[in-house]
Each structure stands twice: as C-alpha cells, then as structure tokens.
C-alpha cells in the first residue's frame, strides 16, 4: 500500500524522518521554500529556514501539522540552511538533531530539545563538538545506546574533511579509489555530545572490498538511515547522482556493512532522502519527490509506501 499523493500539500516538505512516539507516527522533515532560485551542485537552492513537525495516527492516515517548531533565528550558532533533521526520545525528553552552516559557512550538527514530540524545540547554544557535514540520523540500539550517523558529499561538505580538518577546496576521490563514507558517533547519556570522535561507517561489496568512488549506483552519497530487523542492522542511503535508495547490512551498528541492493528507484526530482519505520507490525518507507511542484527539484513533497522483507532478509525493491 502507498499514498500516491503527497502527504503534505499546503507547503513543500522533504527529507522525512519518521518515528513512532506515543502511538502516533511523527514526521520530522525539512521545509522547502516556495520561491524560485537558481540551482547549483553546492545546494544553494536548498535555503530552508525552519522546521515543522507532522503526525499521523498511522502511515496512511490524515496528517496533522503541529506548526513551526524551530526557526533559524532561534539557533545562536547557525547562519543558514536548516537541512534534513532527525529526532529521538530518551530520559523523558525529545531531541531534534539538525544540520546548519555555522557563522563561517561550515556545516555542523545541532541539537534542540522539547518535552513533547511535536515541539516546540529549544536549540542548544552551540553545535555538537566534533560534528560536521549534514543529514543526521539517530539510532537507538537494543542495549539502550544511541548512535548518530551523518554525512553528505558535494554541498554537504564531507569531502572537505578528508584530512581531519576542514578544507574548503576538498575534492572527491578519484573514481578508482574508495568512496567517501558516512560517519557515526555514539551519543552521550545526555544526548548532547559524542562519547568519542566520529568514525567511518565502512561499506563493502560481497567480496569485502570497499565500494569505489566511481561506483555511483552503490556508493554512499548522503542521507543515511539506520534500522534493525530480526537482529540485522540495515544501513540505507542515497546514491546521489544515481538517484536511488540502496542498503547494506551488518551484525552490529558500527559495521562493516555489506551492500545488498536497491530499495527505491529514482523519483521525480533530483534528490532522494528517506526513513524506514515500523508501525503495528508493518514497515513503511517515507521519502520525497518533486511531484507537488511539477518537478522542481528544490520544491519537494513527502510520500510513503509500505516496505516488505523477503525470507532471506533482503528488502523487496520498489518503484516510487
């Protein structure tokens, strides 16, 4: 089953992170601006300034807009571009993780907190120390530990950190070299800092070899999502310029992850960004396309489709 129409039609939304809190599905997307801009590979057309939170009684049910929960002007350290967020619950509080450029134009990841899943959220005065790049995904493991996955290339600046320091002139690796990898760090008990510096999330092929930078149908680009099913850890992500959602699996949350296949073929529009959530025993893929705007890549809309596993644990490929 799926929602053939966008879930949200009164504004442009993208990058949906879906979670079940208090029995409802809460969606934490980015909010695309409804104005015309020039497009470039740096992503300047994605000029988002605030976040709204949405919820549903179930993935095919009506959507409630809980209003604006955080604005750029309320984030002391940020200068622009509130891109794809994610959320978590721990110790009686809700945590919103979000990327933004700092005053020097470098992407960092911030945290905002609330007593309610629908917000509003109050931002911490500084970003997470040691954070970088974009697309945070927070994952709660079975042992109670929480991990933050993140990273995106091109406009997401992951290529600028290959030396351990930010270099604005950082380049992508040559096609015959290993691809850049997403990062992961364990979160502290208060959910506001990293326990240790971020490390690479290694993704390999079925021979144990790291995926190459030129392997655009399989290598990592942006939008990591982590979930667990029947004891297996699933890392799914966007391949970027190949426009697909793919996945890899491992027996622990730090990897290495072995590439398994495609989840979703290309959508209308340029970017693909998603989340996977279980609700009442059924699994769902939340993603976005540009159908609401007629194909304008930076005016996107959230959709949902049911996701199915095969007997061997593989995910059944889908078309949008």
For the stretch 154-180, pLDDT in tens is: 999 999 999 999 999 999 999 999 999
User: 232 in a domain, yes or no?
Assistant: yes
- What's this model's pTM, rounded to 2 decimal places? 0.97
Does 5 reside within a domain? no
pLDDT band at 107 (very low <50, low <70, confident <90, very high): very high
Does residue 2 surpass a pLDDT of 60?
A: no
Interval 15-21 mean pLDDT: 98
Q: Which residue in this structure is represented by tokens 């984030």?
A: 75
pLDDT value at residue 76: 98
Task: Classify residue 133: in a domain, yes or no.
Answer: yes
Residue in 15, 86, 118, 289 annotated catalytic: 15
Task: Read off the pLDDT of residues 50-101 as tens digits, 9 standing for 90 and up.
Answer: 999 999 999 999 999 999 999 999 999 999 999 999 999 999 999 999 999 9
Note whether residue 269 is domain-resident. Answer: yes
**Confidence band of 1 (pLDDT split at 50, 70, 90):** low
For residue 96, give every residue at least 6 positions away whose Cβ sits within 8 Å of its Cβ, in sequence order, or none.
28, 51, 69, 70, 85, 86, 87, 111, 112, 113, 114, 119, 121
Indicate which residue of 32, 86, 135, 222 is catalytic. Answer: 222
* Number of structural domains found in the chain: 1
The verdict on whether 209 is a catalytic residue reads no
Neighbouring C-beta atoms of residue 136, cutoff 10 Å:
27
Whether 268 is covered by a domain: the verdict is yes
Three-class SS of the chain:
CECCCCCCCCCEEEEEEEEEECCEEEEEEEEECCCCCCCCCCCCCCCCCEEEEEEECCCCCCCEEEEEEEEHHHCCCEEECCCCCEEEEECCEEEEEEEEEECCCCEEEEEEEECCCCCCCEECCCCCCCCCCCCCEEEECCCCCEEEEECCCHHHCHHHHCCCCCCCCCCCCCCCCECCCCEEEEECCCCCCECCCCEECCEECCCCCECECCCCCCCCCEEEEEEEECCEEEEEEECHHHCCEEEEEECCCCCCEEEEEEEECCCCCCCCCCEEEEECCEEEEEEEECCCCCCCCCCCEEEEEEECECCCCCECCECC
Q: In this structure, is residue 7 part of a structural domain? A: no
Q: Strand, helix or coil at 78?
A: strand
Residue 15 designated active-site: yes
Q: Is 22 exposed, middle or buried (0-12, 13-18, 19+ CB in 10 A)?
A: exposed
With respect to residue 43, please indicate whether it lies within any of the assigned structural domains. Answer: yes
The pLDDT, as a whole number, for residue 118 is: 98
Assigned domain for 201 exists: yes
Alpha helices in the chain (DSSP H): none
CATH number at residue 29: 2.115.10.20
Range of the domain at 31: 12-307
Residue carrying structure tokens 């959508």? 267
Q: What is the mean pLDDT of the chain?
A: 97
pLDDT at 41 over 80: yes
Other C-beta atoms within 10 Å of 129: how many?
10
């Amino acid at each position: 089953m799926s929602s053939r129409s966008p879930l949200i039609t009164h504004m442009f939304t993208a990058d949906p992170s879906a979670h079940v809190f208090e029995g409802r599905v809460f969606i934490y997307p980015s909010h695309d601006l409804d104005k015309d801009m020039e497009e470039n590979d740096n992503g300047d057309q994605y000029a988002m300034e605030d976040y709204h939170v949405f919820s549903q009684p179930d993935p095919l049910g009506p959507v409630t807009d809980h209003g604006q929960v955080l604005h750029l002007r309320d984030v002391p350290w940020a200068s622009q571009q509130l891109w794809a967020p994610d959320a978590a619950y721990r110790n009686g509080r809700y945590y919103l993780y979000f990327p933004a450029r700092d005053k020097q134009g470098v992407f960092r990841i911030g945290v905002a907190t609330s007593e309610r899943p629908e917000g509003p959220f109050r931002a911490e005065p500084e970003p997470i120390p040691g954070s970088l790049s974009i697309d945070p995904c927070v994952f709660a493991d079975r042992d109670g530990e929480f991990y933050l996955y993140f990273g995106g290339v091109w406009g997401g600046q992951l290529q600028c950190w290959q030396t351990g320091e930010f270099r604005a002139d950082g380049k992508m690796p040559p096609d015959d070299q290993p691809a850049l990898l997403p990062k992961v760090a364990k979160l502290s008990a208060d959910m506001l800092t990293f326990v240790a510096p971020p490390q690479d999330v290694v993704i390999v092929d079925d021979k144990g070899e790291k995926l190459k930078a030129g392997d655009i149908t399989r290598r990592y680009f942006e939008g990591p999502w982590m979930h667990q099913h029947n004891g297996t850890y699933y890392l799914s992500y966007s391949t970027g310029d190949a426009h697909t959602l793919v996945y890899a699996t491992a027996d622990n949350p730090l990897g290495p992850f072995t590439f398994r296949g495609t989840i979703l073929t290309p959508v209308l529009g340029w970017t693909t960004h998603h989340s996977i959530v279980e609700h009442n025993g059924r699994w769902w893929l939340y993603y976005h396309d540009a159908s609401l705007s007629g194909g304008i890549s930076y005016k996107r809309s959230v959709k949902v489709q049911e996701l199915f596993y095969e007997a061997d644990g593989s995910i059944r490929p889908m078309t949008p």
